Amino acid sequence: MSGLRSLLGNGQRKLWQFHGGVHLPDEKTLSNRGPVVDAPQPPQLVLPLQQHIGAPARCRVAVGDQVLKGQLIAEPQGYISAPIHASRSGTVVAIEPRPIPHPSGLSAPCVVIETDGEDRWGELPAPLAASTAEIDACEVAEVRERIRASGIVGMGGASFPSSVKLNPGQDQPIDTLVINGAECEPYITCDDLLMRECAADILDGVRIMLHLIKAKQALIGVEDNKPEAATALRRAIDATELGARVEVVVVPTLYPSGGEKQLIRILTGREVPSHGIPAQIGVVCQNVGTAAAVADAVLRGQPLIERLVTVTGRGVVEPRNYRVPIGTPAESLIAASGGYSGDLAKLVAGGPMMGFRLETDAVPITKATNCLLALTPAESPDPGAPLPCIRCGRCAEVCPANLLPQQLYWHARAKELDKVQDYNLFDCIECGCCAHVCPSHIPLVQYYRFAKTESWAREQEKRAADHARERHAAREARLERQERERKAKLRKKKEAVAAGGGAPKGDKSGKDDTAGKTDKADKADKQAAIEAARRRAAEKKSTVEQTQQTARPVTQRVPEHAPGNASGSASDHAADNPTGNTPVQNRAAAAPVDEPDGALLERRETAAAGQE
Amino acid sequence: MAMSFVSSPHSARVNRVDQVMLQVSLALVPGTLVMVWFFGWGVLINMALATVFAVIAEALALLLRRRPVLPAIKDYSAVVTALLFALTIPPTLPWWMTLIGILFAILIVKQLYGGIGYNPFNPAMAGYVFLLISYPVATTSWLPPDVSALLEARDLSTLSLIDSARLVFTGALPEGLSWDAITAATPLDEMRTLLDQGQRIDEIRASSPLWGVFGGRGWEWVAAGFLLGGIYLLRQHVITWHIPVAVLGGLLSASALFWLLDPQLYPFPAFHLFSGGAILGAFFIATDPVSASTTRRGQLIYGAAIGVIIFAIRTWGGYPDAVAFAVLLMNIAVPTIDQYSQPRVFGQRRSARKKA
C-alpha cells in the first residue's frame, strides 16, 4: 500500500500514498461557485478568551471600555497560548461565560463587544517589511514574535498557536514547509476560495515562513478537485521569483489527505513518528489560511481578526463563503445566507466527517471555525441504533493510521484502557472513516474519544497521586531528620545543664531557624516570650493536624504521628500543604483546573490535526 | 432526530449489515442454480427448510435472551447461515436432520455465544460437522449429478420434485427404487476409496464416466457457479481477495507439491479445486467475517492454513471432504493469529530490527 506510485500528469513530482482513506461525495460546488462575500456587521461580537489550544488568554479590558479594531483585548498566558484582538471597534458590554462552539456545548468566558459600526482601526504595529523581498533582512525572533502577538493560530481547525509550530528548535532542522490546501472534508470551500482569491497573500506568508524555519522548499498540497485554486497559486508563483523553492502539488482527492500526517506522507513520503510531531522528520505543516494571516501580520501589521467561513449544506438557502470578523454569531451568517431551508437535521461546526454538532446557532465564529454546515435529514440520516460488530474489518481497510479500529472498539467498550493503548489509540486522528463505512453503524469515533478522555483523566490522576506520594515521602524523611536533630540538641543542652552554669535561655535552641541568632542574655526574656507564642500556635495547629490525620484515608498509608512531638512538625506540615487539605483532597481540587502540559498538548494537537 | 447520535462523522453511512448479507445470498444464486440443475429439487427444499428453521430458532433464542428480536432477524445473518448449511448437506437429507443441524448452529454455536458478531465458530460449518459426526451415512449419501452418461453407466436415477419432497419429509423412497439406485459417492469419496484400494489415478479416471475435466462431472460446474458468485462478492467489496486467494493458494500449492512427487498417487491440483466444497468454502465460508481473522496478514495465514488442512484431511483423513473441519480448526486459531499479525501503525518503525 505504501509503495511510491503514480507520477502526476505533468510527470514531475512523485506522490506517495497512505493506507486506507475513503472517497466521499465532495459537495464542494454547493458553496464554491460565487466569490467570498463580506459578512454583515453584527451588533455584537462575542470573543471567547480561549480560541486556541493551550492556556486561555488573560482579559485586558473591562466592561465599559472603548475598543478599536485590531486592539489587543486579551494577552497570552504562557508559551502555548495566543492573544485575542477586537475584530471591530465598539464598547465592551460584558465579560461573562457565553456558549461557544465546542463539542461539549458548554459556555466559556467571552468578551462581548457592542460594535459602533464605525470600524475604526486601532494603532497597529508597523509592518516588519514592506514586501517579502525585504523579509530576509528581518530578525527571525522578531518575526516570530509578531506572529505570536498577532494571535495567529492554525486556521485549519486545530488552532494550535502558529508561533510555537514555527519554532521547531535548533535540534530539529527543517527542510520542507508543507502548506495544506488539500481541504479534504466534503462541503468546506473556504480554503479553496482563499487560494483562488488571495493566492498572492498565501505566497507572501509562505515566503515569510520559509525564512522563519530556514526550510529549502515549500510544497503546497491541493486536492485535484480544486483545479482553479491550483492554477491561481501557480500563477501567483510565476509572478514572484519563488518558482525554485515553492511548488504547487496536486494530490488525488481522497479523504483524509488533508490530515497533517497524511499530507506530509503524500508529498514527502515521510511518516510523522507515532506520538511525534512533523518537526522530527524535518517538516513543518501550515494551513493556507495560516499563511495568509502570517502575511497580514508581518507585512501589514494586522492581527488575526477575520477569517473565511463556509456556510453551506442543503439546510441553508444560499450556501456561500464569507469573510467574517472573529466573534460574529453563527446565526447572523445563517441569516445572511437566507436562513434555514426546510428540514434541518443538525448544524455542524466544521465538516461532516470531523465537525461537531452545535446545540445552538448563538455561538460565535472563532479562529478555528472554518465551516457552518446545515445538514438536512437526507444529507445526514439518522444511522439508527448500532448493531453488533460483525468483525468485517472494513474499518481497518479505510483507517489512514493503519490501526485496527474494531479491536480498539472492543476494548474501549470494555473500558480496558491499557488494551486500547496497546492497540495505539493515540495514533487515531478521529477522521471518522471507520464509522463512515461500518455496516453496523457503530459510532466508533465516539468510543475512541471516550477512551482517550478516560486515559487522559487516568494519567492525570496517576501523576497527581505520584506527586502526592513523593511529597509525602520527602516530608517523612524531613520529619525524621528534624526529630533526630531535636533530640541531639536536647541531649547537648542537658549535658550543658548537668555541667552547670547554663544561662536561663528557654528552649529556643529547639528551633533550627533560631540557632544562628545572637544569644545575648539581655534578649533572653523577649526570646522566651516569642517562643511561648510560637509554641501555642504550633499546638493549635497540631490539634487541627490530628483531626485531619484521623480523617485521612487508610490507603494513603500515612504513619501515625506521635501527638506530642508537634512543635516542629505541625508547622512544617502546614507549610507543606498550604491549603490544609490532605493530599487526596488537594488532588481532587487541582485536577479539573490543571492545565495540560506540553506533551499532552502536542498529542492533542496531532490528534486534532485533521484539517490543520 | 435521534439525540443518541451526535458524534462525528455526520455523513450518511455507506454500508449496512443486512445489505452485506443480502449480497452474499445473491452471490449464492449461480452456484445454487447449477446445483438444482444437477441434483434436483432437494437442494431448494433444503434451503427453504433450513431458512425457516433458522429464523424461527433465532427468534426463539432472542426471546429467551430478552433481546430485541426484529433487528437481529432483519440483519439476515440467520438466513445466510441457513443457506450455506443447506448447500453443504445432501439433497436427500430428512427434514429433522436439517432441523437438528440448524438448531445446533443457531442456538448453540451462535446464540449461546452471544449472537451475531460473537460466535467464535462458523455456525453453518459447526452445524454441518455436528450432523456429519452424528449421522455419517445420511450426510454423505449424495444424489448422483444428473449427467445422462453417468446415470446410464451406473444404473442410477434422479428424483422429481414430488419424489424429493416425499423423501425429505417422510423418508419414503419412490416406488421401485432403492437407496443404492439414487445415491452415489461424491467424486472426492470415490477417488479416495479407489486410491485406498491401490488403483492408480489414470486407471481411476479411465474407469468411469464420473470424471469430468477437472473433478467430477456436474460438480465442477457447481464449483464454477460458486466461483462466479465469489467474483461478484469481490467486485462488490463484500469480501477482499485475501482469504479466498489464500485458501485456494494453500490448497493448490499443497496438492501441487504432492502431485509433482507422484502424479499417479495424488490427484491433479485442479481436481482439488473443483471438487467438494473448496470454492464455496474459499469464497463464502472461510470469509465469514465473524469467525475469520481480521488483519490482512492474519487473513492470509488463516486462509492458507485452511487450504493446507483441506488437502491434508482429504488425502490422509477419514472424511470425504474437509472444508468444514479446516474452517473450524482455523476458527480456533483466529485470536492467536490476530494477536500476532497486527499491522504496522502509521508512523511506527517499519521494523525495529532494520534500524537497530
**A272 and A264 Cβ atoms separated by less than 8 Å:** yes
Contact A404 B118 (CB under 8 A): no
Residue-level pLDDT at A521 = 58
User: Which are the contacts of B240, defined by CB distance < 8 A and separation ≥ 6?
Assistant: A393, A397, B234, B299
Are B121 and B209 within one domain? no
Nearest to B10 among A348, A406, A430 (CB): A348
Are B61 and B34 within one domain? yes
Are B83 and B121 within one domain? yes
Q: Is B104 part of a structural domain of the chain?
A: yes
Which of B152, B167, B184 is the endpoint of a domain?
Answer: B184
Among A566-575, A589-598, B299-308, the range of highest mean pLDDT:
B299-308
Q: How far apart are CA A507 and CA A492, in angstroms?
A: 12
Using alpha carbons only, give the angle A316, A318, A319 rounded to the nearest 5 degrees: 80
Q: How far apart are CA B287 and CA A390, in angstroms?
A: 12
CA distance B36 to chain A (A): 30
User: Which are the contacts of A185, defined by CB distance < 8 A and separation ≥ 6?
Assistant: A255, A256, A258, A350, A351, A352, A353, A354, A355, A371, A610, A611
Mean pLDDT of A472-493: 93
Q: Is B118 part of a structural domain of the chain?
A: yes
Which of B184, B208, B226 is the endpoint of a domain?
Answer: B184
**Interface residue A442 vs chain B (CB under 8 A):** no
Are B314 and B253 within one domain? yes
pLDDT value at B139 more than 80? yes
Residue-level pLDDT at A559 = 40
**φ, ψ dihedrals at B226, nearest 5°:** -70, -30
Which of B122, B151, B184 is the endpoint of a domain?
Answer: B184
**Interface residue A388 vs chain B (CB under 8 A):** yes
Please identify among residues 21-60 of chain B the ones whose CB lies closer than 8 Å to any CB of chain A: none
Contacts of B348 in chain A (CB under 8 A): 273-274, 424, 427
Q: What is the CA radius of gyration of chain B?
A: 22
**B54 and B48 Cβ atoms separated by less than 8 Å:** no
Are B165 and B34 within one domain? yes
What are the beta bridge partners of residue A561?
none
Q: What percent of chain A has pLDDT over 90?
A: 63
pLDDT in tens, A251-282: 999 999 999 999 999 999 999 998 889 999 99
pLDDT in tens, A401-434: 999 999 999 999 999 988 898 888 999 999 999 9
User: Which are the contacts of A541, defined by CB distance < 8 A and separation ≥ 6?
Assistant: A566, A570, A571, A573, A574
Contacts of A19 in chain B (CB under 8 A): 343, 346
Q: Which residue does chain B place closest to A403, by CA atoms? A: B345
Residue-level pLDDT at B170 = 84
For the record, the C-alpha cell of A498 comes out as: 548537668
Report how many domains make up chain B. Answer: 2
Nearest to A436 among B13, B294, B342 (CB): B13
CA distance B226 to chain A (A): 21
Instruction: Give residue A566's pLDDT band: very low, low, confident or very high (50, 70, 90).
Output: very low
The residue among A124, A169, A153 whose CA lies nearest residue A56 is A153
pLDDT value at B128 more than 70? yes
pLDDT value at A381 more than 80? yes
Q: Is B8 part of a structural domain of the chain?
A: no
Residue-level pLDDT at A323 = 95
Q: How far apart are CA B25 and CA B238, in angstroms?
A: 11
Q: What pTM was estimated for this model as a whole?
A: 0.80
Q: How far apart are CA A398 and CA A425, in angstroms?
A: 16
Instruction: Give residue A534's pLDDT band: very low, low, confident or very high (50, 70, 90).
Output: confident
CA distance A346 to chain B (A): 8
Contacts of B75 in chain A (CB under 8 A): 387
Lowest mean pLDDT, pick from A67-81, A201-215, A334-348, A546-560: A546-560
Are B105 and B227 within one domain? no
Residue-level pLDDT at A548 = 55
Nearest to B345 among A387, A402, A432 (CB): A402
Mean pLDDT of A209-218: 92
**ipTM given for this complex:** 0.86
User: H or E stretch including A105?
Assistant: none
User: Which are the contacts of A24, defined by CB distance < 8 A and separation ≥ 6?
Assistant: A186, A255, A353, A436, B11
Q: Is B270 part of a structural domain of the chain?
A: yes
Contacts of A401 in chain B (CB under 8 A): 345-347
pLDDT value at A611 more than 60? no
Burial of B93 by CB count in 10 Å (0-12 exposed, 13-18 middle, 19+ buried)?
Answer: buried
Q: Are strands A176-181 and A217-223 parallel, antiparallel or unpaired?
A: parallel
Residue-level pLDDT at A545 = 60
Higher pLDDT, A275 or B330: B330
Contacts of A261 in chain B (CB under 8 A): 346-347
**φ, ψ dihedrals at A477, nearest 5°:** -60, -40
pLDDT in tens, B167-195: 888 888 877 777 777 777 788 888 888 88
What domain range includes position B163?
16-184
pLDDT in tens, A94-120: 999 999 998 888 899 999 999 998 889
**What single-letter DSSP state applies at residue B321?**
-
Contacts of B294 in chain A (CB under 8 A): 391, 393, 396, 404, 406-407
pLDDT in tens, A436-479: 999 999 999 999 999 998 998 998 999 999 999 999 999 999 99
Around Cβ B69, how many Cβ atoms within 10 Å? 15
**Interface residue B13 vs chain A (CB under 8 A):** yes
pLDDT value at A153 more than 90? yes
Q: Is B302 part of a structural domain of the chain?
A: yes
The residue among A283, A234, A227, A288 whose CA lies nearest residue A258 is A288
Q: What percent of chain A has pLDDT over 70?
A: 83
Q: Is B171 part of a structural domain of the chain?
A: yes
Are B270 and B250 within one domain? yes
Q: Is B348 part of a structural domain of the chain?
A: no
Are B273 and B177 within one domain? no
Mean pLDDT of A153-163: 89
Q: Is B305 part of a structural domain of the chain?
A: yes
Are B252 and B285 within one domain? yes
Burial of B86 by CB count in 10 Å (0-12 exposed, 13-18 middle, 19+ buried)?
Answer: buried
pLDDT value at A597 more than 50? no
Residue-level pLDDT at A539 = 77
Q: Which residue does chain A place closest to B349, by CA atoms? A: A273
Residue-level pLDDT at A440 = 92
Q: How far apart are CA B37 and CA B25, in angstroms?
A: 18
Nearest to A393 among B294, B345, B348 (CB): B294
pLDDT in tens, A317-338: 999 999 999 999 999 999 999 9
Nearest to B12 among A346, A348, A380 (CB): A380
**Interface residue A440 vs chain B (CB under 8 A):** yes
Are B139 and B220 within one domain? no
Mean pLDDT of A42-48: 93
pLDDT in tens, B317-327: 888 778 999 99
pLDDT in tens, A498-528: 887 655 554 444 444 444 444 555 567 777 7
Are B248 and B285 within one domain? yes
Residue-level pLDDT at A352 = 93
Contact B117 A401 (CB under 8 A): no
**Interface residue A316 vs chain B (CB under 8 A):** no
Average pLDDT, chain A: 83
Are B196 and B176 within one domain? no
Residue-level pLDDT at A188 = 95
